[in-house]
Amino acid sequence: MNKITGQKKTILSGMQPTNNLTIGQYFGALKNWVELQHDYDSLFCVVDQHAITVRQEPANLRRRSLDVAAMYMAAGIDPTVSTLFIQSHVPEHAQLAWILNCLASFGEVSRMTQFKDKSAQHADNVTVGLFTYPILMAADILVYNADLVPVGEDQRQHLELTRNLAERFNFHYSPTFTVPEPFIPKVGSKIMSLQEPEKKMSKSDANEKSTVFLTDTDAEIRNKIKRAVTDSGTDIVFDAAKRPGVANLMTIHHICTGRSLAEIESDFTGLGYGDFKEAVGESLVALVRPVRERYDALRADEDGLMNTLRVGAEHARERARNTLRKVYKKTGFVEL
């Protein structure tokens, strides 16, 4: 809450529709968004324009964009409380990005480490869009004058660029943009791969046994947990450095049940991995099942989903248009 105006601070976040969402994204982001929406003026978007920085099958991109929007709501995002929309439905994002492109220097954008990493992963398709992706991200944030942006470590550098661009525009023209701050949620556990627990769970992992998706059936969840990598020991003890597989499963069980890590260790004293994995699987099934069932119902009503996104886009466009009008005038464009 702004102490001077009494208005709620604005928070914005989004996810790419490049695959089904995972429990890692739910625990690390979506769960927090659901709680934040009541305390902040919240905007949540499906960032489909960011997704095409690497090649996408058009039909899949359309389907997954709607899938992700439905999953936002299934997880608890309330479109009557938050503004929910698809990025490409608000063209002001891309329009502002061009202005910011002309403010950003080649040197500062070329220092973005994520561009270097993704260029290595997609060496056959290193596009200008992949290079300027952080500037579109800056436009996503600045077009709504967001005060806060939930970011992981991999996006922190991009947010710093956003802050620099906001300050640069404000200096060269006049105060226009809110300079956003990173928002680090109090709870945002990192969930690791079930097959390679030294690395983060990823929705794009080639090995689907590594990842639990929010659309997985009860049987699929139980099977993936049953086959999760642990170690050569037998006792259930939390040690993320030496026993990352067990620690990861304990973290999942902790989030699903609310029991502390110490209580979980006590619960499974004298029991083996079989009993432990069965309990983790059941607690995860109990958490995911209602989300999946709500998702299935929302996704089956595509007309209703599209109407919700249309209303969200109209609200977002009204806000974005006001910002862009000021930016265009200050930049020196002739008003239409």
Tokens standing for 277?
């994995």
Chain-centroid distance of CA 106 in Å reads 27
Which stretches of the chain are DSSP H helices? 23-25, 31-36, 48-51, 58-75, 92-101, 106-110, 113-121, 128-142, 156-172, 218-226, 244-257, 261-267, 273-300, 302-331
Q: Partners of 44 in the beta sheet? A: 13, 84
Q: Partners of 87 in the beta sheet? A: none
Of residues 7, 16, 22, 19, the one with CA closest to residue 212: 22
Give the number of other CB atoms < 10 A from CB of residue 25: 21
Q: What backbone phi and psi angles, to 5 degrees, belong to 167? A: -65, -35
Known catalytic residues are 118, 200, 203
Tell me the CA distances in angstroms from 302 to 58, 69, 211, 215, 297, one per residue in order: 18, 11, 27, 17, 10
Tokens standing for 70?
């439905």
Give the number of other CB atoms < 10 A from CB of residue 95: 16
Q: Is 189 helix (H, G, I), strand (E, B) or coil?
A: coil
140 with 177: CB under 8 angstroms? no
CA 225/CA 207 separation, integer angstroms:
14
